[in-house]
Amino acid sequence: MKNKKKGLLHLFIILAVTGLCAFTALVGFSDSHRGSARNIKLGLDLAGGVSITYQTVKDNPTDTEMSDTIAMMQDRAEVYSTESSVVQEGNNRISIDIPGVENADEVLESLGKEGSLDFVAADDITFDDNNNPQYTKTVCTGKHIKNAKAGTQQDQVTKNKEYVVELTFNEKGKKRFADATAIAAPSKKQIYIIYDGKVLSAPRVQDEISDGHAVISGSFTTYAEADDLASMIRIGALPVELKEIQSQVVGAQLGQDAINTSLMAGAIGFALVVLFMIVLYRLPGVAASLALVFYLVVMVVALNVLDITLTLPGVAGIILNIGMAVDANVIIFTRIKEELRKGKSVQSSIKLGFDKALSAIVDGNVTTLIAAVVLYVKGSGTVKGFATTLAMGIILSMFTSLVITKLILNAMYSLGIDDVKYFGVEKERKQIGFIKNKAKFFAISGIMIVLCIVMLVVNNARSGYILNYGLDFMGGTTYDIPFSDSQKIDADFKKEIEKIFMDVSGSNDVVIAEVAGANELTVKTVELSEEQRKNLTSTISSKYSIEEDSIQIQSISASVSDEMKSDAVVAVIIAAICMLIYIWFRFKDIIFAGSAVLALLHDVVCVLLVYAAARISVGNTFIACMLTIVGYSINATIVIFDRIRENLGTRTSSEALTDVVNDSITQTLSRSINTSLTTFFMVVMLAILGVDSVRDFAIPLLAGIICGAYSSVCITGTLWYTIKKAASKKKVTAGSKAVSMKKA
């Protein structure tokens, strides 16, 4: 029964919420930076940030001390942004870049200047006339602290909530602290916590603490006070003492043109997606387009609320998500058109379309969400940032597809737009014989895998590396170049400097950033030989009349540490295992799960081939690209497997297995093609209009989209069929042997 008032109300509410979110987002991107935009943190490449250089107090720190210090400083810097970069310069310097921050002093206070942290027993400390602590013996030092964080607990006497600081010691610290507390506990003596010669806290020891976990309580009136103490303890817990030798606010590494071209690519791609959906799906396409606008503006607001640091690859990822967000709508609309072909009414078709598409949408998105959660928990740096954006996009796309699109369609139906011609009818498709061509499909995939291996071997023979690793993975050389006040630093001048570096280094991996408040550029490039450094310094000095001694040169370590690499690999492996278990559980068949994971590896190898063959620079975006392909590929596979599972319910004989697979792939073919096209529209615009760093992200993604479409249509179903038949034959053979043995 139609209810026009209810339909109008639903449309009004959706449009009003969309308009409000859009207003918030648009105001946020204004020059005055009002509204919710104050919470959007832009990366170094988009808006610049703070660059700080520390030097160790110790003259010759060991490699272990430096690597441990870098790891701990990375954790601290990520409090400000997951996109923060911490690299080693030379033997005893650490450079930290934190995007989206303009107050260097504030960051310095949080990260920690020179200083040390000591735990001192009451019996081993005295105080001079100025109340400064004097001691020569310590219980523990900062290097024994594993973690310190603020928390809450219930007071055992008053039963009220109280704020505390929770300390965790490493193995060495655990024993030393246990010995000290065993002595102090009987008399409730104090243990002083001293940072940089000042007493931070002096808690009384109530019990012997032997498990390495201590709680400081009783003196904090607010959570902020507890958090401040925890922060200071973490600051002093560095393996080596650091002193700040330079801090500066740096400008955006990429110009406004890079942002504008990416946004233009997004706008054009969005328009193409909307046009495609309306032409192909008519009224449901209009509903999907409205839902897509809702998705986009809520995504921007969510970025504000969650304080996610947005970099240019992040912008590209959001633009990519626009194409992927259409996927659920395509599945639903295909189902609606199928029901209309069967002669169902429009109202029934809408209901059945959503009901039948639900399992495929939920399973596909949950498997990708599992990957996002694992990546967030196990990953670090850019991997964790990518996981956050991925999870947020999945949740929002599911909500807009299953709730907003449905409300809009039902509202339009209630307003009297109920003619079948506005929805379209799915044409009966002639079954395509995918199974009979499985040998050809497997051969093509085999050739791609062999080519990938060959290219990796060839690259390794030529350069010593299987891929073209960029600054993020290999480290390089940084130049700090001060120019005279008369020299204007603009986009053209930066391109001129970039060309000089590219000509000398022979690499196009050059990153340039302005130093705010100074006529100075910081340029990062690949590792240079001594001769290349001399040539480059001489060229810049003579061309721009700069004293050679004023140009500072340092070698920098990779911003993607070995730990981050291993974390990413471990995260992907765990995610794959978790997805395998989930698919096994949902489909009640491990062959479905195994086939999905094998197809996933196939797509990853194909994208790796593109990186190897095209010699595309491998940096932070490489990790994001490969993880995107993992999510995109598994989603497409689930849709086909869901249809196979459904068709198996009506045709169970083994003779019908071929027809089940052929029919299932044929029935979902339009979805596979249409979803790939909508995503392709978005990414191809990035490849055409984007700057080099975005293009290096977009081109492999295009390859991933094509490979993902190919594997989901040609590989997954046929692979499942092949393994299923082989397993059935083995089972039959085993059964026959058992019977004959019994008769004997």
Name residue, tokens 């011609």: 421
- Looking at per-residue pLDDT, the higher value among 169 and 734 belongs to 169
Of 29-33, 434-438, 670-674, give the range with the top mean pLDDT. Answer: 434-438
Q: Average pLDDT for residues 214-243, to the nearest whole number?
A: 80
Q: How far is CA 531 from CA 505, 534, 551, 574, in A?
A: 11, 5, 16, 46
Among residues of the chain, what percentage have pLDDT more than 70?
Answer: 80
Is 187 a residue whose pLDDT tops 70?
yes
Higher pLDDT, 474 or 249: 474
Q: What is the pLDDT of residues 569-623, one digit of tens each?
A: 777 778 778 888 888 888 888 888 888 888 888 888 888 899 898 888 777 667 7
Among 32-36, 561-565, 690-694, name the one with the lowest average pLDDT: 32-36
Q: How many residues does the chain have?
A: 744
Q: In the predicted model, what is the mean pLDDT of residues 136-159?
A: 83
Q: Average pLDDT, stretch 733-743?
A: 48
Q: Which residues pair with 524 in a beta bridge?
A: 478, 511
- Taking the C-alpha atoms of residue 605 and residue 634, their distance in angstroms, rounded to an integer, is 14
Residue with tokens 């169902």: 344
Do the beta carbons of residue 432 and residue 661 sit within 8 Å? no
Say which CATH architecture domain 438-455+561-734 belongs to.
Answer: Up-down Bundle (1.20)
Q: How far, in Å, CA of 54 to CA of 48, rounded?
A: 19
Of 644, 662, 712, which is closest to residue 431 (Cα–Cα)?
662
Q: Which residue has the higher pLDDT, 8 or 586?
A: 586
Identity of the amino acid at 706: I
What was the pLDDT predicted at 565? 65
Q: Residue 8: what are its φ and ψ, rounded to 5°?
A: -65, -40
Which string of DSSP letters, residue by residue, matches 117-153? EEEEEGGG-EE-TT--EE-S--SEEGGGEEEEEEEEE
What is the β-pairing status of strands 309-310 and 213-216?
unpaired
Question: In the numeric block, which tokens belong to residue 571?
Answer: 């995260």
Measured CA to CA, the distance from residue 474 to residue 135 in angstroms comes to 44
Given a cut of 50, whether residue 299 has pLDDT beyond it is yes
* Beta-sheet pairing, 161-169 with 145-154: antiparallel
Q: Which amino acid is it at 696?
A: D
Write out the two tokens for 339. 């029901």
- Per DSSP, the three-state class of 170 is coil
Residue 161 has pLDDT above 90, yes or no: no
Q: What is the pLDDT of residue 70?
A: 80
698: left (phi over 0), alpha (psi -120 to 50) or beta: alpha
Reported confidence tier of residue 437, pLDDT bands at 50, 70, 90: very high
Asked if residue 24 has pLDDT above 70, the reply is no
The third-level CATH classification (topology) of the domain covering 476-556 is: Alpha-Beta Plaits (3.30.70)
State residue 657's pLDDT score.
85
Let me know: does 314 contact 300? Beta carbons within 8 Å.
no
For residue 566, pLDDT over 90 is answered with no
Read off the pLDDT band of 743 (50, 70, 90): very low
Pairing of strands 213-216, 476-482: unpaired
- Which are the contacts of 134, defined by CB distance < 8 A and separation ≥ 6? 125, 126, 127, 128
HSE, CB side, 13 Å, CA atoms: give it for residue 536.
Answer: 29
Q: 621 pairs with which residues across the strands?
A: none
Q: To the nearest 5 percent, what fractions of the chain are helix, strand and coil?
A: 65, 15, 20
Above 80 in pLDDT, residue 309?
A: no
- Other Cβ atoms less than 10 A from the Cβ of 527: the count is 15
CATH entry, 49-108, from 3.40.50.300, 3.40.50.12780, 3.40.50.720, 3.30.70.3400:
3.30.70.3400
Give residue 46's pLDDT.
65
Instruction: Identify the CATH class of 117-235.
Output: alpha beta
Superfamily of domain 4-39+256-422: Multidrug efflux transporter AcrB transmembrane domain (1.20.1640.10)
- Indicate the average pLDDT of the chain: 79
pLDDT at 87: 79
pLDDT tens-digit profile of 89-127?
Answer: 777 888 888 776 666 666 766 665 545 788 999 999 898
Q: Which of 53-57, 318-322, 730-734 has the lowest mean pLDDT?
A: 730-734
Pairing mode, if any, of strands 93-99 and 49-56?
antiparallel
Cα-to-chain-centroid distance, residue 60: 36
pLDDT of residue 425: 78
Over residues 354-374, the mean pLDDT reads 83
Domain 49-108 matches domain 438-455+561-734 at the CATH topology level:
no
| pLDDT above 60 (res 741) | no
Is residue 202 helix, strand or coil? coil
Residue 75: what residue type? D
pLDDT, greater one: 9 or 689:
689
Residue 678's pLDDT is 84
What are the residue ranges spanned by the domains of the chain? 4-39+256-422, 49-108, 117-235, 438-455+561-734, 476-556
pLDDT tens by residue, 260-271 = 777 787 788 888
- Highest mean pLDDT: which of 23-32, 131-140, 258-267, 416-425? 131-140
Find tokens 């001390």 and name the residue: 65
